[in-house]
Amino acid sequence: MFVAVYPADPTQQLISALLDAGYKPVPIDSLDSIDERTPEGGWAAAVVEVTSDLGRSLALSGKLTDEYGLPVLLLIDRTMTLDIAGEVGFADFVLSPVDRTELRVRLGRLHSATPSIADEDIVRFRDLELNTATYQATVAGEPRDLTFMEYELLRFLVENPGRVWSRDQILARVWGYDYFGGSRTVDVHVRRLRAKLGEERSSWITTVRSVGYRFG
C-alpha cells in the first residue's frame, strides 16, 4: 500500500513509522508529483507532515482531498491543535512525535473507510461524539485531541455507562489481559480525559472510592 508523503523530505521518524505499519511512503514535493508518481494500484492515503507553514500544508491537504479524493492524515505539533480546529480538507490528525501504533490504526481507518459515515459508527453521549470508523472525538462539534489509548478508554466508558468498573477490570478490557502495567495507568488516563473533556464535562467520569470509576 502506497502512501503519498508531503513534504519531499519527511522526518526519518515518520518514514520508519510508516514502514513499520506496512505502508510504502512516496515523498512528493507538489501536486504535480502526485500525477507523476501515482503507483499502478493507486494511493492508500496521504500523510502531510506539518513542520513550519501550517497554512500551506492545509491548502495542499485540501487539494489532495478535493481534487484527488485522497484521505489526508496530518502530522502536527501539539501547539498546532487549536489552529486546526474548524479547518477542513483533512480526514484526521496525529501528534508529533508520532506514536507508531496510533499511526497504524488511524491510517488503517482512513484507508478502509468509505466516504459516508454510517450512524452505527458514531457513539454519542450528550454532546460528545466518538466516530469509531475514524477514531475522531468531538465535544459540541469541537475536535478533542486524544491519544489512541485515551480514545479507547473513553469509548469503553461511554459504551458501558452507569456501571462501576474496577481499575483491574478497565485494564483488562481496554489495555488487554497481557498488559503488565499497574492500575495507576488507569488513573493517569482518566485524569487526562477529564482535562480534555473540560471542566463542565469532567464530572461525567466519577471516581468510586476504593473501587474504580463510573461513567455517566
pLDDT at 180 over 90: no
pLDDT at 87 over 80: yes
More confidently predicted of 32 and 175: 175
Domain at 120-215, CATH from 1.10.3720.10, 1.20.1640.10, 1.10.10.10, 3.40.50.2300: 1.10.10.10
Task: Compute the Cα dihedral for 84, 88, 93, 97 and give only its sign.
Answer: negative
Give the per-residue pLDDT at 181: 72
Q: In what order do the strands lie in the sheet with 142-144?
A: 122-125, 128-131, 136-139, 142-144
CATH 3.40.50.10880 fits domain 2-113: no
Kindly indicate the confidence band of residue 199, based on its pLDDT and cuts at 50, 70 and 90. Answer: very high
**Mean pLDDT value of segment 2-11:** 91
CATH 1.10.10.10 domain extents, the chain = 120-215
CATH 3.40.50.2300 domain extents, the chain = 2-113
